[in-house]
Structure 1
Amino acid sequence: MSLLCLSGADVARVTSTLSPSALQTLMAHVFSVLSTGETSASYTPPRITIPTQNHTALFMPARIAQARSESLRGTSIKVVCIPTSPTDVRGLPASTLVLDEETGAVKAILNASNLTALRNAAGSLLSVNLLGPPAPANIVAFGAGAQIEAHLDLHLRAFPSIQTCTIVNRAVNERVSKLADLLHARFPAVKISRIAHDASAPNPDPSLKDALLAANLIICATSSTVPLFPSSWVSDGTHVVLIGSYKHTMHEVDGALIRRALPSDPTKQSALLVDSRSACLAEAGELISAGIEGSQVVEIGELVSFDADGELIFDAARPPPPAETRGTTGPVTIFKSVGVGLQDVAIACAVVQKAEELGLGTHVDWA
């Protein structure tokens, strides 16, 4: 037998062929499996952490055993190394091994450095299509790393209605400029703006408040320990995506904004959406500090539905976004994600399958 090796360039070529619709449908199936509650349908053991000389190595195995689509089933382990030095800015090395379901041998190894961001972006896009505005016009993103690049690229492809895109970072540095130039080249019709903003510093740029008030969609992917902006800067009906926090000490938004996603009538469905109820309530600093309980959140997998062909069904009767005279104390919709291992299985298996169809990658004799 042979081992399929997919470089970062191979993976990029494969993912460029996957449409926003296909990616969000893939994640919808994953979240559906997660929310079924069937213990035999999936396996996500606790990750293993091992300190090395210059990194903290994380080993994350997972398996999807039962799913609507045969191609969704699989077993993988992702290995991510987090630099221990704050001056190491080379990124997070990540690799995923995919097993052959018949032989049990390793079927493929792929560079997964950008796959985590892509699968997160696909989940966020799904949340917008489930609860957010049907045709967002203005988007604001906090951060300038791989997560924000993947999110902005996917959402700008999915929503041609977007007219303005504002990138907010602690400093308008070379990374921000490169991202802005990249997006401008890909989406010349969209006005790309950049704002420097340190959430812990006084006197923020007044243009940030204006951009947030006009936003239909806000995406946060930072490690901030203080809220990036006050709830009063977010207009009613805005959809907010929170990707960054995964510790009790991390807070990308304040508790007031979190509570605006809760219904005033407890019999109504909450607009506080999560990828995993248990994981988010254990790890997401914003939800923990706001005192959010399990009954107050909805797993995204509980909202998805499919037709006989496994395609997503969306509510065609979703109301349009509020008028331009929106307030800043009314309801918003929020999606909080900390990421789940089943997403890694699905995206890795999908990439391997597509690479085989396209004849990409290098085969190494493993006999």
Structure 2
Amino acid sequence: MFRLYERRICLLRDKMNEFDALLMASSMNIGYFTGFFPGFQSLLFVPRDDEVVLFLSRADASLAEETCRFRVEVVGKEGYVEKLKVLLKEDVKKVGVEESLEAGMFSRLKREFPSVSFDFFGGLWDIRSVKSDEEIKAIRKSIEIAEAGLRAAVESISVGVRECDVAAEAEYEMRRLGAESFPFETIVASGSRGASPHATCSKRKIRRGDAVVIDLGARYEHYCSDITRTVIVGRNDKMEKALSLVIKAQEAALSMVKSEVSCSELDLAARKVLEREGYEKYFLHSLGHGIGLEVHEPPSISSTNKANIREKMVFTIEPGVYMHGVGGVRVEDTVVTEKKKGKVLTKLPKEFFV
């Protein structure tokens, strides 16, 4: 397993270009490159040629020593800066930092090391956004768990049941099947509440004629899933039409997925379907997002992102329609890019009626 992380570090070094070293502080970046996901403040130092060093809190030390095969340094009262002074030698002129580094840490580094040039390094996502077979396998398992949770949610829906009770059934089933945690708060939004894309769940009781938006995910071996389905309770012709159009919009985008197609082209394909029926104005967000260790990662499948998708990128396609005061519908699936097509990893039916 250590060879996997050594390969990732080699890929990182290949992209360092003008940088003599890199610094990372986010748990997900550190975990991706070392196999250890710290729970407390940590710092990963990756020099161009020298030894990789992980600085971390005493609270993380014992677990890190079991998990991480790179050099581990426990930081005490002296703090991270004093530890770095030993490593930032005279030949280190330019250091790259991750784009998510806290402003306070960035400012302090520049103040404490005036002879070193610190700048943002954008190459991390070039590596992380293309998934390995091992990562795709973990994402598949995470999706399987989330699908079981969504089925449990659907089976619990009936007139008079509270949204929060539906969410509880889904989360229990996902935990039972091995979910380590949930990458975001489970959404169960019924009736007019469904018009808000991120409405989470409430004590509202589900009524006949409601469209119920269920959006949930699981985390398995650190990797996330993200699935949305809309359940029609009884009959609602208006929401059923909207759901049918959203499914067609999703299918239009999915049919175009392959290497070297731009993210904006996928977004446009879905919007055109809704636009023809006068529903494009109700589509309030981008079409999708990358998924992996984090539930929202590059690539952004949006009208403004002209970058091409690449083989083995994993992302969601999730068109939606949100009508204020009426309700909303959304369908979200996860797809992996192959050379000539996209492979949908989600297996659930697109429509549910109870």
> The TM-score by the shorter chain falls in which range?
under 0.3
Rg bigger for which structure?
2
* TM-score relative to the length of structure 1: 0.25
Higher relative contact order (CA 8 A, sep 6+): 1
